[in-house]
Amino acid sequence: MLTPVLRDRLRLPLIAAPMTAVSGPELVIAACRGGVIGSFPAHNARTTEELDAWLTRIAAALDTDGAPVAPNLVVHRSNPRLADDVACLARHRVPLVITSVGSPAAVLGPLRDAGCLVFADVASMRHVDRALALGVDGLVLLTAGAGGQTGWHNPLAFLRAVRRRYDGPLVLAGGIADGAALLAAQVAGADLAYMGTKFIATEESMAGAEYRAALVAATLDDITQTSGPTGLPANLLAGKVDPDAGAGQSTGFRFDVIAGATEVWAAGHSVCGVDAVLGVAELIERTHREYSAAAEAMTRNHIY
């Protein structure tokens, strides 16, 4: 169950997913104004000083009625900015921080002291157990089909497995292509869901015109999974990155690689729902209509 600070400020149970080289202040502001949580990787800002400027700009653009902002923090030991970025987020007292690629143990204290909720990105039951043992405030379930860094479990199976042992906030990441899929995730037990790929193809994203056009033209068959670019399994647009790049190497994840991965075109299975480049407000409005229509169909057909 979501806390009031999150639930009461949302029009849809949705997070505009944090995406490297894609999510910036314009996208976040537009998402929050539309009533969905706006998220972005802290490393999209080139320095901690720029991160501070972004958060100041976002706060100034949003009034108290806007949806919350949720910066994403890579907590891997190779992140040289981690301590400085944590201090920056704590100073701004952001309502929610989403951690990924590692244990949030080192950042829980300072963020909690500043009043921030901390959700942890997890991709396996082992990750779930470790995060819950630390006492995180919620989990983001990274599942098969997520764009960019991806999981391997079926979304519904993973969601149900986690829900059997945890009654706190759950976010489903992977395969949310429209409002009907969003409602399905909620019915299955998620409190929120990520939508990422469709937000790449918006006017406010930092993606280039060629990248956006490629998403509109793509189908499910154009998504390939590779560990080449970052050392972690990732879903990308086929043809943009050689899926065999890095094969046989075991260098593992490095923060400098993901932070500099501006030429990688990430996309998830939800690319099947991308049919045009839209403004964020229009995308949210369309998703709300789809969500409402699916809810009405459930009621009409006595599906509860």
Res 261 pLDDT > 70 = no
CB 196 within 8 A of CB 267: no
CB 24 within 8 A of CB 44: yes
Which domain range does residue 202 map to?
A: 4-215+262-300
Into how many domains does the chain fold?
A: 1
Is residue 228 assigned to a domain? no
Average pLDDT over residues 117-126: 96
- List, for residues 137-183, the tens digit of each pLDDT value: 999 999 998 888 888 999 999 999 999 999 999 999 999 999 999 99
pLDDT mean across residues, the chain: 90
Give the list of residues 6+ apart from residue 271 with CB closer than 8 angstroms, or none.
Answer: 147, 177, 197, 215, 218, 219, 220, 222, 223, 237
Is residue 230 assigned to a domain? no
For the chain, helix (H) and strand (E) counts, in that order, are 12, 11
Res 38 pLDDT > 60 = yes
Res 249 pLDDT > 70 = no
Least confident of 110-119, 186-195, 256-265: 256-265
Place of tokens 């409005």: 285
Domain harbouring 156, CATH code: 3.20.20.70
Residue of 263 and 35 predicted with greater confidence:
35
Is residue 244 assigned to a domain? no
Share of the chain above pLDDT 70, in %: 90
Edge-to-edge, what's the strand order for the sheet holding 234-237? 148-149, 234-237, 223-226
Distance CA 108, CA 104 (A): 6
Distance CA 44, CA 21 (A): 6
Is residue 60 assigned to a domain? yes
Helix then strand then coil, in percent of the chain rounded to 5, is 40, 15, 40
Res 254 pLDDT > 90 = no
Say what the pLDDT of residue 213 is.
94
Say what the pLDDT of residue 94 is.
96
Res 227 pLDDT > 80 = no
Average pLDDT over residues 14-33: 96
Is residue 115 assigned to a domain? yes
- List, for residues 269-303, the tens digit of each pLDDT value: 989 999 999 999 999 999 999 999 999 998 887 66
Closest CA to 70 of 132, 127, 12, 5: 5
CB 116 within 8 A of CB 137: no
Q: What are the structure tokens assigned to 295, written together?
A: 């809810």
Is residue 241 assigned to a domain? no
Res 229 pLDDT > 80 = no
Q: What are the CA-CA distances from residue 92 to residues 53, 85, 114 (Å)?
A: 11, 11, 9
Is residue 287 assigned to a domain? yes
Q: What are the CA-CA distances from residue 228 to residues 58, 59, 106, 242 (Å)?
A: 34, 37, 28, 8
Is residue 30 assigned to a domain? yes
Res 248 pLDDT > 60 = no
Distance CA 44, CA 22 (A): 8
